[in-house]
Structure 1
Amino acid sequence: MGRLIIDCVGGIVLDERGRLLLVRRGNQPSRGLWSIPGGRREPGETEAEATARELLEETGLRVVVGDLVGTVERDAGGGAVYRIRDYRCLPAAGTDPAAVVAGDDAADVGWFGAQEMRVLACAPGLVEVLESWGVLGGG
């Protein structure tokens, strides 16, 4: 019997200063820790639709979903696994990235540089994965 795969998506959004948009998770997994905004893909949704919806729900930011950056798997408990496919996203035309606001299951939201992220309480493995994907520079 195979393990249960829970399809999830995340949105990697950088602002004009190269800072990454993060949410402090309000629910498990990684409750209270900073992570990429995202969540479960709903039945019938494409991954791009799910990514745009999750970003809007968690941060109030409308985005244009771009290329797949990478995929990670995280334990969901009970033998299940979250398969998270993270996409590069750009703020949609006419949106103000500074006006992000925590919503849905996000306890907080903010823009963080690479150095700030290295000292933040981030979800396990987040910084290392983003570095391996070339998302986080040295700044």
Structure 2
Amino acid sequence: MDSDEGQRTRCVGGIAHDARGRLLLVRRGKPPGQGLWSVPGGRVEQGESDERAVERELWEETGLRVIVGHLIGSVVRPAPVGVFDIHDYSCQPIGGTLRPGDDAAEAAWVDAETFATLERRNLLTEGLADALTSWNVLPR
């Protein structure tokens, strides 16, 4: 095992749908995944709970306030050093105005047709479509 593989960076993501079944996505404005679409999220800060990190990340990246629900699923992705250990939670938007912020270049509610187009054009972060499919949380 490479020594870098042992370093795990805990991250969270928020999976939110609107009343029409569209999925909240952001286009990354910075590495990793710059220019690609993903669920909003990021690193958990030291001493921060997953729930608080999800609330903070969604506010910073999308301008939306959310209630964080249950853990939907987890994935491990390569990081510049070690791996990102990502835990994605269900979220219910309760306020705010959708706008990109922090390291998000764009933020949007994406329907099934748009999601499929992003996937065909390889504009989704690695493994996103497979994870969302296996968790049964794709947009409608």
Give the structure-1-normalised TM-score: 0.91
Instruction: State the 1:105 CA deviation.
Output: 0.4
- Matching residue of 1:21: 24
Code of the aligned partner of 1:54? E
Instruction: State the 1:77 CA deviation.
Output: 2.4
- Matching residue of 2:33: 30
Distance in 2 of aligned mates of 1:108 and 1:136: 19
Instruction: State the 1:129 CA deviation.
Output: 0.9
- Is residue 98 of structure 2 the alignment partner of residue 115 of structure 1? no
Deviation digits for residues 90-121 of structure 1 (CA, Å, limit 9, x no counterpart): 012xx25xx30000000000000122112111
Question: After the TM superposition, which of the residue ranges 123-132 and 36-45 deviates more from structure 2?
Answer: 123-132
Code of the aligned partner of 1:76? A
Mark the runs of 5 or more structure 1 residues left unpaired by the alignment. Answer: none
Task: State the superposition RMSD in angstroms.
Answer: 1.3
- Matching residue of 1:131: 133
Instruction: State the 1:126 CA deviation.
Output: 0.7
Question: After the TM superposition, which of the residue ranges 60-69 and 109-118 deviates more from structure 2?
Answer: 109-118
Q: Percent identity?
A: 50
Distance in 1 of aligned mates of 2:112 and 2:33: 20
Aligned match of 1:42 in 40, 45, 68?
Answer: 45
Mark the runs of 5 or more structure 2 residues left unpaired by the alignment. Answer: none
Distance in 2 of aligned mates of 1:42 and 1:77: 18
Instruction: State the 1:22 CA deviation.
Output: 0.4
- Is residue 66 of structure 2 the alignment partner of residue 68 of structure 1? no
- Matching residue of 2:86: 84
Question: Which structure 1 residue ranges, 4+ long, deviate > 3 Å from structure 2?
Answer: none
